[in-house]
Amino acid sequence: MSVVEQYARAHILTDADLPDQDDGAIPVVLRYDPDHDPRGVCVALPGRGGASGVREWTFSRALLEQGLRAPAGTGDVRVWPCGRVQSVVELHSPQGCSVVQFETKALMRFLRRTYTAPAQPVAH
């Protein structure tokens, strides 16, 4: 399969070390690489200091999907719906906690792409 990468805008609800934006929105990269982890998805948040400040979390694709309908997760990553059009992803690391709000349709579009990505031919 091919890598699915999608850029989304999100609002940071916590974490003072993230870049300042006028409207509070930041660019987030959502990535699915079935060759690396067929069950996981990656969320990459920018931090201060440009590319060197990027922080990534990899977690279950099923957790993301479940969290769009009802609160899910108990460890470093939690996901829950927030009203009818927003979803929240809470990400914990030794550096702190980031609570990120997405448009649910952006996350659903990303998930749909991970399930419909064309398979790459397997060399024998």
Tokens of 17: 């070390």
Rounded CA Rg of the chain:
15
Give the pLDDT confidence score for residue 21 in this predicted structure.
Answer: 53
Give the pLDDT confidence score for residue 124 in this predicted structure.
Answer: 52
Cβ atoms of residues 28 and 116 within 8 Å: no
Alpha-helix residue ranges (DSSP H) falling in the chain = 61-67, 104-116
Residue 2's pLDDT band (cuts 50, 70, 90): confident
Tokens of 108: 């659903």
How do residues 45-61 score in pLDDT, each as one tens digit? Answer: 886 555 557 788 999 99
φ, ψ of residue 69 to 5 degrees: the values are: -105, -35
How do residues 12-49 score in pLDDT, each as one tens digit? Answer: 887 555 555 556 788 899 999 999 999 999 999 886 55
Tokens of 118: 């064309």
Residues 96-120, mean pLDDT to the nearest whole number: 88
The pTM of this model reads 0.83
